[in-house]
Structure 1
Amino acid sequence: MDTNRTVDSPATVGLRGRCPRCGEGHLFKGYLSFRPACEVCGLDYRFIDSADGPAFFVMSIVGIVVVALAMWVEFAYEPPMWVHAALWVPLSVGLSLILVRPLKGMMAALQYSNKAQEGRFR
């Protein structure tokens, strides 16, 4: 077995929050903080720089879902404005918290598998 490649795809490994090299070690030490290194294979996680990528995808996904549902509820039931606030604010926060960790892990795993580096001018 090649120790540089995991059996699963980088997206799957990242969504599970596992090491992008071995697929077994944990990627996170808290909810969103990366561990210093993999406890199984020793891969140093200092190369990971997901920046705002996961936040962009979370905002896009949550925004599309919440706006579509809010429009459907508005046109179908015409509820008062407080109902919209009571429904969509908690849904937006909840979906964001659910999605940000797996998407951050997926971005880190894809960064590793594609050997992404900081852009440089020549």
Structure 2
Amino acid sequence: MTDQTLCADTDRPTWPAVLTGFRGRCPNCGQGRLLHSYLKVNDQCSECGEEYLHHRADDGPAYLTILLVGHLMAPLLLVVFETWRPAPMTLFSIFALGCVSLSLYLLPRLKGMVVAYQWARRMHGFDKSR
């Protein structure tokens, strides 16, 4: 391992940054807001000045949201259907509302996690030493 790799691992720990990104905060200082609207990433942190222009979240947060919502709701749908046998419209209404609500809740948080992960791993221009 090179000295630069050791510095990169100790300087920016991944999990704390990802958890801070989930909360929608700056992965560098933990204070400034990462998003300025529902899914728009700020150009830089209002507290520490860290630039976010380098992020490449693209479709990653949407993919992760679909993955999580599908893996949570599909088994739940099966259990509810097998246990209570609700009317089809009742089942559809409850699970449609649940899927939409969970997706709207997770999407900005997962976007914050993806941007924070890129920052922690020094991806896409977040590495100042290059």
CA contact (8 A) 2:56 2:124 kept: no
Instruction: Tell me, yes or no, if structure 1 residue 83 matches structure 2 residue 82.
Output: no
User: Match for 1:23 among 24, 30, 38?
Assistant: 30
Give the C-alpha shift of residue 117 in structure 1.
2.6
**TM-score, with length taken from structure 2:** 0.81
Q: Render the CA deviation track for 1:20-72: whole Å, top value 9, x for unaligned.
A: 21111111111111111111111111111111111111111111111111101
Residues paired across the two proteins, number: 114
Q: CA separation in 2, counterparts of 1:112 and 1:40?
A: 16
Q: CA separation in 2, counterparts of 1:77 and 1:20?
A: 44
Q: Render the CA deviation track for 1:62-96: whole Å, top value 9, x for unaligned.
A: 11111111101111111221111111100000000
Query: Where does structure 2 lack aligned partners over 5 or more consecutive residues?
Result: 1-10, 126-130
Tell me the SS of whatever aligns to 1:9.
helix
User: Match for 1:54 among 58, 61, 66?
Assistant: 61
Q: CA RMSD in A?
A: 1.8
User: Match for 1:65 among 60, 69, 72?
Assistant: 72
Percent of aligned pairs with the same amino acid: 32
What letter is aligned with 1:45? Y
